[in-house]
Structure 1
Amino acid sequence: MTAVLRLKTDQLDKIRRWVGLTTDTALAEAMGIDAGNLSRVLRGKQQPGPKFIAALVTALKADLEDLFEVVEEQDVA
């Protein structure tokens, strides 16, 4: 099996509220990425790449473990 990173969406929502980046547009801007790219990752249509992950962690001033968990690829919904 292949392991992948899964975004912890509940935790992401909490941290976004804490730092005041409640809209996708504001978060994408803080990350320096296109809002469409952010939307695809948040909806599970696209796997986040290393640049996305680094930008998200940096924008939210969070630890990687706060936002992502390692799961088997078959468990990704």
Structure 2
Amino acid sequence: MTAVLRLKLDQLGKIRGWTGLKTDAALAAAMGIDAGNLSRVLKGKQQPGPKFIAALCTALKADLEDLFEIVDDAEDVA
């Protein structure tokens, strides 16, 4: 089994609402990344790397386990 991180999209939406970063452009700016990169990760077209994960947690003032879960690579990782 190979484990990967899956973004908890429901939880991400809640935290974004609490922090006021409701648009992808606002969140990408707070993370210091390109909005296209954020979009690809949110749509499941790209796996988040360590810098993305750290930037997301920092921008939302959230812990890793608040935003991600560990799943089997065979599961849908989007």
Considering the TM-score relative to the shorter chain, is it more than 0.5? yes
**Larger helix percent:** 1
2:33 partner SS: coil
Match of 1:11 in 2: 11
Match of 1:35 in 2: 35
Match of 2:21 in 1: 21
Match of 1:66 in 2: 66
2:74 partner SS: helix
Unaligned runs of 5+ in 1: none
CA deviations over 1:13-42 (Å, ceiling 9, x no partner): 000000000000000000000000000000
Letter in 2 for 1:7: L
- Provide the C-alpha distance between the structure 1 equivalents of 2:28 and 2:18, rounded to a whole number of angstroms: 16
1:74 partner SS: coil
Identity of aligned residues (%): 79
Runs of 4+ in 1 over 4 A off after TM superposition: none
Unaligned runs of 5+ in 2: none
- Please give the TM-score of this superposition, normalised by the length of structure 1: 0.98
Match of 1:50 in 2: 50
Cα displacement (A) at 1:76:
2.0
Quote the RMSD (CA, aligned, Å): 0.6
